[in-house]
């Protein structure tokens, strides 16, 4: 009986010793990992707390404007060559106003707040987004909007259609609330840095009789379509073409061009 008790005690001692050794090894590993993390955090962020470092980096990123392609110096000479009267500073300012009015219209769910420089296409698209927001019973908010920079990103000529795309680097507090006022996307406390693309298109003047948003002119002799900007002679009958100035610059698109997409 004593021998059996002695064996049990030996087994218990061995088991406890093994468990203690495992616990000691785990503790040593945890301590080593923490030491490595502190060393890594110190070398990368000059602080021992990786959590605080990540938090600081996140806060810094939320205040750092997004960079733009900055193709203005390349495309602006081409635009002014094709359109000598093109006022870059004017349309740059209008692009800012269009974006602010667009975000304001989304927040208020009122398409009439959209700038008068916008086309019917953009207004119809905005109405569709507002209708979707209403159907899902959510509201979007854009607070403390700051536009850091505006650049031309692309200049596109497709036949008689001409598009100038502006990029805008934007910072704001953006979030979406459900019908109960709960934030379901974005943050009221963390600023978002993003990029919007605003499209300026040379379109047919909507105030002309029978005009729409489509761009196009026809040969006065044979009626064939004039397919290229600045075309002086008809491709079909060689008649001289004098383009009637029935077109104007109008903003037709607004979209976020970023990894951070709105949940509209």
**Residue 50, pLDDT score:** 46
**Residue 206, pLDDT score:** 46
Cα–Cα distances in angstroms (integers) from residue 194 to residues 65, 104, 106, 259, in the given order: 7, 17, 17, 8
**Residue 61, pLDDT score:** 53
**Residue 213, pLDDT score:** 40
Q: Which residues in the chain come in under a pLDDT of 50?
A: 5, 50, 53-55, 57, 206-216, 245, 260-261, 263-264
CA distance 159 to 145: 37
Q: Which CATH architecture has domain 64-256?
A: Roll (3.10)
Domain ranges of the chain: 2-61, 64-256
pTM of the predicted model as reported, rounded to 2 decimal places: 0.65
**Residue 29, pLDDT score:** 79
Q: Which long-range contacts (CB under 8 A, 24 or more apart) does 259-264 make?
A: 260/192, 260/194, 262/140, 262/174, 262/176, 262/185, 263/176, 263/184, 263/185, 264/106, 264/129, 264/132, 264/133, 264/140
Angle, in degrees to the nearest 10, between helices 120-135 and 88-108: 20
């Amino acid at each position: 009986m004593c021998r059996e008790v002695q064996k049990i005690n030996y087994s218990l001692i061995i088991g406890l010793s093994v468990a203690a050794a495992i616990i000691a090894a785990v503790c040593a590993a945890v301590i080593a990992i923490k030491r490595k993390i502190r060393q890594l955090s110190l070398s990368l962020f000059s602080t021992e707390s990786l959590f605080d470092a990540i938090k600081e980096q996140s806060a810094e990123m939320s205040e750092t404007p997004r960079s733009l392609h900055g193709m203005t110096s390349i495309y602006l000479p081409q635009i002014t060559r094709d359109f000598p009267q093109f006022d870059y500073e004017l349309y740059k300012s209008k692009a800012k106003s269009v974006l602010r009015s667009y975000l304001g219209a989304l927040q208020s769910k009122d398409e009439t707040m959209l700038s008068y420089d916008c086309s019917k296409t953009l207004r119809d698209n905005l109405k569709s987004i507002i209708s979707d927001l209403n159907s899902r019973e959510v509201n979007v908010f854009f607070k403390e909007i700051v536009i850091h920079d505006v650049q031309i990103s692309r200049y596109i000529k497709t036949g008689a259609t001409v598009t100038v795309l502006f990029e805008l680097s934007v910072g704001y507090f953006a979030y979406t609330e459900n019908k109960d006022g709960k934030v379901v996307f974005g943050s009221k406390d963390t600023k978002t840095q993003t990029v919007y693309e605003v499209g300026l298109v040379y379109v047919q003047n909507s105030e002309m009789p029978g005009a729409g948003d489509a761009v196009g002119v026809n040969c006065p002799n044979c009626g064939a379509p004039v397919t290229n900007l600045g075309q002086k002679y008809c491709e079909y009958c060689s008649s001289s073409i004098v383009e009637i100035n029935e077109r104007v610059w109008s903003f037709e698109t607004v979209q976020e061009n970023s990894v951070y997409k709105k949940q509209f």
